[in-house]
Amino acid sequence: MKEAHPGEARYAKIEQTAERRSTAARAVTYFFLILWAAIVLFPFYWMILTSVKSYGAYNSEYIPKFFTLSPTLQNYVDAFTAVPLARYFVNTIIFTLLTTAIMIVVITLAAFAFSRLDFKGRNAAFVLFLSLMMIPGELVIITNFVTITNLDMRNTFQGLILPSVTSVFYIYLLKENFEQVPDSLYKAAKVDGTSDMKYLLKVLVPISRPTLITVTILKVIECWNSYVWPRLITDDENYFLVSNGIQEIRENGFGRENIPAMMAAVVVISLPLIGLFLIFHKKIMAGVSRGGTKG
């Protein structure tokens, strides 16, 4: 017993050092993680802060203040009255809802055909569809621009919406999901004389609701943030979406550089998606890690 003592003491010391070291490591880890969180959140804080500073206060601050004691909502009023922000907003909502709704119908029908129906040429068609996934959007946008221009669909919602109502990737995702539903349900429905359409709407769609919701949310995010196509296809302000609207505001809006009003517009534009994210963050993150790409 007695001989063991020195060894035990040494062991305790080693353990203590190790513990201290791991505490230090943990502290450093937390420091950097919180630092990155601050870098992520700071622009959001800054835009909200700037949006409630008055025009005069903002421009008189040579050294910008990190808080304001006299917040004002005047900038939000300006954002909706001095520039057609409300119109951009409504346009984006129409565009987003229609595009997403049409896409869901198109991909559901296609996924159903690929997963349940038996017809000649199905596998060949599916391989062809999959190969389309590799086509980058930048390559086809040139002809689409010319097509839409020639069809006189510039500055219309059809022109904005039609090119983006299908997604091979989502068809693929949904097909995989439909296939997980046991085939026996389909056979049973057939025996009962249920039509294919009825089976799709009453059985497959309700069962696959989680995937459909994920696809919907991802598409809504994509639509809300789309910039390039709307920019090419609209030059009439009445058809601008929020991304183009904010660019227009930056270049021509509010007369002299009215940064606080601009930031108010930025807040208004960002709010819907941030709200969506706060409600659905688990679903969105799971969905993106399954099939999103950006960057």
Partner 1 sequence: MIKWKSRFNNIKGWLYLLPAILFLGFFMVYPLIDVFVYSFEEGYNSASQTYFGTGTYNYSYVLHDPYFLQALKNTFLLVVITVPLSTGIALLISVGLNSIKPLRNLLQTVYFLPYVTNTLAVGLVFMILFKKTAYSDGLVNLLIQWFGGESVDFIDGPYWAKMFVLCLYTIWVVMPFKILILTSALASVNQDYYKAARVDGTSKFRTFMRITLPMISPMLFYLVITGFIGAFKAYSDAVALFGTNLNAAGMNTIVGYVYDMLYGDSGGYPSYASAAAIILFAIVLTITCINLLISRKNVHY
Binding to partner 1 in span 110-149, by CB under 8 A = 110, 112-114, 117-122, 125, 129, 132, 135-136, 138-147
**Residue from the set 18, 90, 185, 274 that interacts with partner 1 by CB under 8 A:** 274
Cα 210–chain centre separation: 17
* Distance separating alpha carbons of residues 153 and 146, to the nearest angstrom: 10
**Residue from the set 79, 83, 160, 171 that interacts with partner 1 by CB under 8 A:** 171
Stretch of 53-61, 71-79, 82-90, 205-213 lying at the interface with partner 1 (CB under 8 A): 53-61
# of chain residues touching partner 1 (CB under 8 A): 93
Q: Binding mask 226-265 vs partner 1 (x if CB under 8 A, - otherwise)?
A: -xx--xx---------xx--xx--xx-----x-x--xx-x
Is 173 one of the binding residues for partner 1 (CB under 8 A)? no
Element (H, E) at 74: helix 74-81
Is 281 one of the binding residues for partner 1 (CB under 8 A)? yes
Q: Which two tokens stand for residue 170?
A: 């989502």
Q: Binding mask 31-50 vs partner 1 (x if CB under 8 A, - otherwise)?
A: -xxx-xx-xxx-xx-xx--x
The identity of residue 243, as a single letter, is S
Element (H, E) at 213: helix 209-225
**Residue from the set 153, 194, 196, 237 that interacts with partner 1 by CB under 8 A:** 196
**Residue from the set 68, 74, 194, 270 that interacts with partner 1 by CB under 8 A:** 270
In the region spanning residues 61 to 80, those forming contacts with partner 1, defined by CB under 8 A, are: 61-64
* Distance separating alpha carbons of residues 111 and 104, to the nearest angstrom: 10
Closest by CA to 87, choosing from 239, 190, 295, is: 239
Residues 6+ apart with CB under 8 A from 178: 111, 112, 115, 116, 204, 208
Instruction: Using the minimum distance from each CB to partner 1, give the nearer residue, 41 or 188.
Output: 41
**Residue from the set 76, 100, 159, 163 that interacts with partner 1 by CB under 8 A:** 163
Cβ atoms of 250 and 227 closer than 8 Å: no
Q: What are phi and psi of 67, to 5 degrees?
A: -155, 170
Stretch of 7-15, 80-88, 180-188, 277-285 lying at the interface with partner 1 (CB under 8 A): 277-285
**Residue from the set 80, 237, 277, 291 that interacts with partner 1 by CB under 8 A:** 277
Smallest gap from Cβ 242 to partner 1, in A, equals 7
DSSP 255: S
Closest by CA to 189, choosing from 204, 175, 174, is: 204
Instruction: Using the minimum distance from each CB to partner 1, give the nearer residue, 130 or 185.
Output: 130
Instruction: Using the minimum distance from each CB to partner 1, give the nearer residue, 3 or 118.
Output: 118
Closest by CA to 278, choosing from 36, 44, 29, is: 44
